């Protein structure tokens, strides 16, 4: 039964009423949430699978005999059909023209990002190379590409995000895109949705960057679960994602969706079983396979891949647009309520990092709690208390140090002092780091919404938050 503020909520966010089929979905496919009285608020960490996905996958596995794909025997052929079916479904789901794009299966988004980083032709050490341009707001698996770029002589340029919304001003992007080096290949990387602030960065940057000769890497890991990415309308060279974030199951499979032309310019640093047409020991040569096969090392997860097709079908049937609408309404309500909660002395209970309304933002909210004197409450303490209430939320910096440093006011100078201290030459623990930056918070609390979220989840968190008033 839903009571309390529900009436006021639907008056403020009438679009929620249009998403009631998602309540039926929750009752049918995600009833374990209510049976176990859990409030799951970590969809940016991992999506949740529906019971029907697991049932369909189990039925398929029970009914078939599947061997290692890409051979001629019947069990192998059966597996090949499933793998190629999943591949075709991925392109179809994202409206990517198979003549233009190819879907490469990886172990997760990070695996897809590493494939790009290690193979991108930035240049060779010693020669004038291109540039790696990226936003402060990026997951560490994108930040890590800077190490490949530097090792090949490319320079690395970061575009900062600005307070209070943690967005990148368009004029800053215009300046940086206009400054592409004349030599070498240059890559621009940004997340479609921030995993820290949930900011939706403009997809229009893709065409702008392409028009100025950049290759574009769009990290869609946090975006794809609640937004439909249309690769017929926006055409980055590389898109990276993890399927468990979109529909919970299977884990351990992600994709690099790449433009065929851009893929043909990548140079893999090695070859492996499955990636070559011919390799010779005595002749000391190898020839890479064309397309996806050249980038899938060894045997793909051929039993897990059918569950990707099942998951995509599930999302398409539910409707990503509908999920988006519900998540937007719930996030809007959370933002309104949380930002108006005050201790009796008048100080705010929380500080939200990122946009305070639903415009151009997704359904995750990063915040810190403050006590009645305005002192921050350690996010680890908040997590401990949330755990005891059956609320799953996430704390820390969510592998996004760039957005985190700006949000938490950690300066370049403070970081330099910390990292150049002889005591930290080789090792730095999180506790050392906290001491280094003078006890400032090194992280935040993140709550995030998704396919099975409902008003009860949001109310559970608001009730929980209220418990910290006047503490």
Ligand X SMILES: Cc1ncc(COP(=O)(O)O)c(C=O)c1O
Smallest gap, in angstroms, from Cβ of residue 168 to ligand X? 15
CA distance 386 to 394: 10
> How many CB atoms within 10 Å of residue 58?
11
CA distance 353 to 144: 24
- Contact (Cβ atoms closer than 8 angstroms) between residue 382 and residue 120: no
Containing H/E element for 316?
helix 305-318
Smallest gap, in angstroms, from Cβ of residue 363 to ligand X? 13
Smallest gap, in angstroms, from Cβ of residue 248 to ligand X? 12
> How many CB atoms within 10 Å of residue 164?
11
Of 367 and 403, nearer to ligand X (C-beta) is 403
Residue 264 CB partners (closer than 8 Å, separation 6+): none
User: How far is residue 263 from each of residues 213, 254, 267, 290, measured CA to CA in Å?
Assistant: 16, 17, 9, 9
Smallest gap, in angstroms, from Cβ of residue 136 to ligand X? 13
What one-character DSSP code corresponds to residue 14? G
> How many CB atoms within 10 Å of residue 261?
11
Smallest gap, in angstroms, from Cβ of residue 311 to ligand X? 14
- Contact (Cβ atoms closer than 8 angstroms) between residue 94 and residue 227: no
Of 191 and 250, nearer to ligand X (C-beta) is 191
Q: Computed over its alpha carbons, how large is the radius of gyration of the chain? A: 23
Positions marked catalytic:
399
CA distance 102 to 267: 16
Of 139 and 235, nearer to ligand X (C-beta) is 139
Residue 154 structure tokens: 């490319």
Smallest gap, in angstroms, from Cβ of residue 370 to ligand X? 26
Of 398 and 464, nearer to ligand X (C-beta) is 398
Of 141 and 442, nearer to ligand X (C-beta) is 141
Smallest gap, in angstroms, from Cβ of residue 446 to ligand X? 10
Of 256 and 338, nearer to ligand X (C-beta) is 256
- Contact (Cβ atoms closer than 8 angstroms) between residue 216 and residue 257: no
Q: What DSSP line would sit under 103-143, residue for residue? A: EEEESSHHHHHHHHHHH-----TTS---EEEEESS--HHHH
Containing H/E element for 29?
helix 21-29
- Contact (Cβ atoms closer than 8 angstroms) between residue 228 and residue 200: no
Beta bridge partners of 33: none
> How many CB atoms within 10 Å of residue 433?
15
Of 44 and 441, nearer to ligand X (C-beta) is 44
Smallest gap, in angstroms, from Cβ of residue 371 to ligand X? 30
Quote the strand ranges of 289-400, DSSP E. 350-353, 364-369, 391-392, 394-396
Of 109 and 159, nearer to ligand X (C-beta) is 109
Give 337's Cβ-side CA count (13 Å radius). Answer: 23
Q: In the complex, which residues of this chain contact ligand X (CB under 6 A)?
A: 44, 108-110, 139, 141, 191, 195, 219, 221-222, 242
Containing H/E element for 257?
strand 254-259
Residue 206 CA, chain-centre distance (Å), reads 18
User: How far is residue 224 from each of residues 141, 198, 227, 403, measured CA to CA in Å?
Assistant: 17, 12, 5, 20
Smallest gap, in angstroms, from Cβ of residue 299 to ligand X? 20
Of 139 and 379, nearer to ligand X (C-beta) is 139
CA distance 305 to 252: 10
Three-class SS of residue 95?
coil
């Amino acid at each position: 039964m839903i009571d309390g503020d529900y009436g006021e909520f639907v008056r403020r966010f009438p679009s929620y009423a249009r998403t009631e089929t998602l309540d039926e979905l929750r009752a049918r496919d995600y009833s374990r949430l209510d049976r176990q009285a859990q409030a799951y608020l970590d969809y940016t960490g991992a999506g949740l699978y529906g019971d029907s996905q697991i049932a369909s996958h189990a039925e398929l596995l029970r009914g078939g005999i599947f061997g290692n794909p890409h051979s001629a025997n019947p069990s192998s052929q059966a597996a090949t059909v499933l793998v190629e079916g999943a591949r075709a479904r991925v392109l179809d789901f994202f409206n990517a023209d198979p003549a233009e794009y190819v879907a490469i299966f990886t172990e997760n988004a990070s695996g897809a990002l590493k494939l790009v980083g290690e193979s991108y032709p930035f240049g060779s050490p010693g020669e004038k190379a291109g540039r790696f341009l990226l936003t402060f707001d990026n997951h560490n698996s994108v930040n890590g590409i800077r190490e490949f770029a530097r090792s090949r002589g490319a320079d690395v340029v970061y575009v900062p995000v600005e307070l209070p919304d943690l967005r990148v001003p368009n004029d800053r992007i215009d300046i940086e895109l206009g400054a592409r080096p004349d030599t070498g290949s240059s890559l621009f990387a940004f997340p479609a949705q921030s995993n820290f602030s949930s900011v939706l960065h403009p997809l229009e940057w893709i065409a702008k960057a392409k028009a100025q000769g950049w290759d574009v890497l769009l990290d869609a890991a946090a975006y794809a679960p609640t937004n439909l990415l249309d690769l017929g309308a926006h055409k980055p060279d590389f898109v990276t994602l993890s399927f468990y974030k979109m529909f919970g199951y299977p884990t351990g499979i992600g994709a690099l969706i790449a433009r065929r032309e851009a893929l043909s310019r990548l140079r893999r640093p090695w070859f492996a079983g499955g990636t070559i047409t011919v390799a010779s020991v005595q002749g000391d040569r190898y020839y890479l396979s064309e397309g996806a096969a050249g980038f899938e090392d060894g045997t793909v997860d051929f039993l897990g891949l059918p569950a990707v097709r099942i998951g995509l079908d599930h999302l398409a049937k539910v409707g990503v647009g509908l999920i988006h609408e519900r998540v937007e309404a719930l996030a809007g309500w959370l933002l309104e309520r949380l930002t108006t909660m005050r201790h009796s002395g008048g100080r705010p209970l929380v500080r939200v990092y990122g946009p305070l309304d639903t415009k151009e933002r997704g359904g995750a909210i990063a915040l810190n709690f403050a006590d009645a004197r305005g002192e921050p409450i350690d996010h680890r303490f908040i997590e401990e208390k949330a755990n005891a209430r059956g609320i799953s939320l996430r704390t820390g910096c969510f592998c996004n140090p760039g957005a985190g440093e700006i949000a938490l006011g950690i300066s370049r100078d403070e970081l330099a002092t910390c990292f150049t201290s002889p005591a930290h030459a080789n090792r730095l623990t999180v506790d050392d780091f906290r001491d280094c930056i003078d006890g400032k918070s090194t992280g935040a609390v993140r709550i995030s919404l998704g396919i099975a979220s409902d008003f009860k989840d949001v109310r559970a968190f608001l009730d929980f938050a209220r418990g910290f008033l006047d503490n």
